[in-house]
Amino acid sequence: MRKALYTNMSGHRQANSMNEASMTETAPFSIHALELGPMENFVYLIEDSASGRAAVVDPAWEVPEVLALAKKRGLRITDILLTHSHHDHINGIEGVLQVCDAQLHLLKDEARFWGSYMDLPTLHHGGDHIRLGDTDIQVLHTPGHTPGSACYRIGDRLITGDTLFVFGCGRCDLRGGDAEQMFHTLKDMERDLPHSTIILPGHNYAEKTTSSFGEQVEGNPFMHFDDMGRFVRYRMFYHDKHRHGPYRSVRKGDAMPDNAN
């Protein structure tokens, strides 16, 4: 099983994705990633440099690996951020809470959809901000994979969960999925996000672990559709039959033939 560990620092180029980066300059935050579990999940640890606080995003599978990373870096896990409530992204919550006095954060729409969330989570709406020491985390509501899917924006980084993968996007055929919502979500992201934004996806499904958003606009086939009907047809019926990982860049116009069934 692969266990990728890397650090992304605000305002710096990404380090080798399979090795921890060395800090050569002071940054307000670092984002560390572990690839864990049978579904190639990325579990992220957001480190606030000033306070020593950390937030774990989508704790799942091998919680001791996450706790060990926090301990190695001298961090206190004070927050848990969920991008959505599917089992492969939440099955480590209890393991974290048994060790850490952490506050759980998720979107109100996702809590309503989930129906079995923790007793006292902090519920958010799109546009809210979470403060982790000196680090500002913006909550984006990005429905489509689930009704309350969220992305978390930290500086020029965007943790995308199962909304947007490198050269892919989340399924919409599971309970709560909605391909029309996903179409609008991706269009909103294209309109609102700088192309220099670095996306940090929820799974390691592509030939590389991260990418700029501009590269996704150019090479992610799900970003190429202007017609919602064609997007829905591609997402729901065509893609999984004709395209297999690891995902790579696709030229515009090559995703799906006009006469595809």
- CATH classification of the domain holding 20: 3.60.15.10
At residue 1, the pLDDT reads: 42
Q: What's the structural domain count of the chain?
A: 1
pLDDT at 11: 32
C-alpha–C-alpha distance, residues 258 and 261, integer Å: 9
Range of the domain at 20: 5-242
pLDDT tens digits, one per residue of 106-149: 999 999 999 865 566 898 999 999 999 999 999 999 999 999 99
**pLDDT tens track for 14-24:** 333 333 332 33
Q: Looking at residue 223, what is its pLDDT?
A: 98
Inside any domain, residue 260: no
Instruction: For residue 125, give both structure tokens.
Output: 């709406």
Q: Is 258 inside any structural domain?
A: no
Q: Is residue 86 part of a domain?
A: yes
**Domain for residue 138, yes or no?**
yes
Q: Is there a domain that residue 39 lies in?
A: yes
In a domain, 192, yes or no: yes
Contact 31/12 with Cβ under 8 angstroms? Answer: no
Residue 224 three-state SS: coil
pTM above 0.85, yes or no: yes
Is the confidence at residue 199, as pLDDT, over 70? yes
Q: Is 52 left (phi over 0), alpha (psi -120 to 50) or beta?
A: left
Task: Specify the range with the lowest mean pLDDT, choosing from 4-8, 25-29, 188-192.
Answer: 4-8
Q: Of the candidates 180, 175, 222, 181, which has an alpha carbon nearest to the alpha carbon of residue 201?
A: 222
30 in a structural domain: yes
E strand intervals along the chain = 5-9, 29-36, 41-48, 53-57, 76-81, 103-107, 122-124, 129-132, 135-141, 150-154, 157-161, 164-165, 168-169, 198-201, 211-212
Q: Does residue 12 belong to any structural domain of this protein?
A: yes
Residue 162 phi/psi, 5-degree rounding, is -105, 15
φ and ψ at 245, to 5 degrees? -75, 170
